[in-house]
Amino acid sequence: MTLSEKTVIITGASRGIGAATARHFAEAGARVVLAARGATAIEAIADEINAAGGRALAVPCDVADWASVSALVARTREAFATVDVLINNAGVIEPIARLDESDPAEWGKVVDINLKGVYHGIRAALPVMLGQGGGTIINISSGAATGALEGWSHYCATKAAVLSLTRCTDTEYRDHGIRVMGLSPGTVATEMQVQIKASGVNPVSQLDFSVHIPPEYVAKGLAFLCTPGGDAFLGTDFSLKTEEGRRLAGLPSA
């Protein structure tokens, strides 16, 4: 699949990985739909893409709310007719805290965004993709999906659940033309790493900001997964932390 003339929904598109992905996919000829709670930010990025000759639409959306995500998909179909790619990128890590100090309400909000938000995206996009004969769903994953880190119980638990959701969706819909996989980027130079650094909790917070990959690398990894080469990773996570992963995505060695 080439990205030209394909419709791509990107959640969490107001900054970081989401914003970089919207720009990269638009440059590749895709029609991009930027979704995030911050309307002003996504509208500015969409205006930038459109001014450069691309096609972009900004749709304010709270992924934790099913009605909001359902409306996002409906608005996308109104504008561009199809939903060819869904990138479930929206996610949060704050507040970072050990379990005995965690706030149950805030812990639950992370579940609503990181896990239920991904489910909402999949649930809203699947009927459209099935009706058009296929589509690609990529969930942003993490090494936290299979590892435990101090202060990250909410993040580790939700990313583990998202990996399981990736596997379940693949099991149910691969034979119906739905390509679903995760992308585990490693540490990325975004606002999330600023928050992690400020927490001072666990070894990740001790990393120098210069060691994190730029979000543009992740965008290239996502574009690779939209090609036939991504089929080798259906139902699992593709990692940019390995030399093979970087090579496949056309990125420099670590």
Active site residue ranges: 155
| DSSP H or E segment with residue 165 | helix 153-173
Contact predicate 19/13, CB 8 Å = yes
Q: What angle do CA 184, 138, 201 make, to 5 degrees?
A: 35
The strand order across the sheet containing 55-60 reads: 55-60, 31-36, 7-11, 85-88, 135-140, 178-184, 237-239
CA distance 105 to 223: 36
User: Cα–Cα–Cα angle for 49, 51, 57, nearest 5°?
Assistant: 45
**Centroid of chain to Cα 148:** 21
Dihedral of alpha carbons 212, 140, 18, 240, sign: positive
CB 114 within 8 A of CB 162: yes
Provide the 3-class DSSP secondary structure of residue 8. strand
DSSP string, 181-246: EEEE--SBSSHHHHHHHHHT-TGGGGS-GGGSBPHHHHHHHHHHHTSGGGGGGTTSEEESSSHHHH
